[in-house]
Structure 1
């Protein structure tokens, strides 16, 4: 009987320790997954008009126009989300985008969108494509715009 009174608490203690150990392993595994995601190779690439058009045609990403409201009146790429690069809350606006889906960013000539692409990368966006030459190059190539 004394042995039984000793064995039962010992068994319960070992079970508790085992469960605690598994909880630690789960946390460690979660940390590993999070670290792996953070270290995943990101794409931040400048692309020409034809490649940009090919990428957005896939329909799997977010098209981002970072020009000013005045510039938007001249036309935008279809389905583009408009965020004025010069707005005080521009960075907060970027946070509304999905960090997992590709972002296709453009401006008038490529300067602001290049800066926006760098911001997006620093914010943890995985795939970012910047349109070289911006809307000027897009229009010169005769690509479709909407007003």
Structure 2
């Protein structure tokens, strides 16, 4: 009972933190489902070298570590949701603050990043 209560508290705490940051973590399955139904703004925030080694089809590479990151995301459509990912989900989670500051209201972060996507054997392109 104590373990269940603790897990529930942790789960809801994590979701609250994400809500404060104005982004939602989504699973690889949820992203695959969304991609099968609609065209989305899918941003890979990894380096160009990482991107060239394989990426999710239709994603656009905007390097979070680039000095032009904020300028590059500013040209995206802020009225539409944006989906972001990196290698493991940490850089993309950090990048959501820049998306929020740029005026995006709906930001989705691929939980576990490209490693999770690739591990589930979803399609990648090189």
Name the CA distance, whole Å, in 2 between partners of 1:58 and 1:112.
26
Whether 1:52 aligns to 2:43 is: no
Q: Is the 8 A contact 1:56 1:104 kept in 2?
A: no
Structural mapping, 1:1-147, within 5 Å: 44-147=23-126
**1:43 deviation in Å?**
5.4
Name the CA distance, whole Å, in 1 between partners of 2:57 and 2:63.
17
Name the CA distance, whole Å, in 2 between partners of 1:100 and 1:58.
19
**1:69 deviation in Å?**
1.2
Provide the aligned C-alpha RMSD in A: 1.5
Name the CA distance, whole Å, in 1 between partners of 2:55 and 2:76.
18
Name the CA distance, whole Å, in 1 between partners of 2:115 and 2:54.
11
**Structure 1 residues 77 and 83, CA gap change in structure 2 (3 angstroms):** same
- 5+ unaligned residues in a row in structure 2: which ranges? 1-20
Query: Looking at CA atoms only, which structure, 1 or 2, has the larger radius of gyration?
Result: 1
Which consecutive aligned stretches of 4+ in structure 1 deviate over 4 angstroms post-superposition? none
Name the CA distance, whole Å, in 2 between partners of 1:125 and 1:57.
23
Q: Is the 8 A contact 1:47 1:131 kept in 2?
A: yes
Question: Which is richer in helix?
Answer: 1
Alignment length, in residue pairs? 106
SS of residue matched to 1:57:
helix
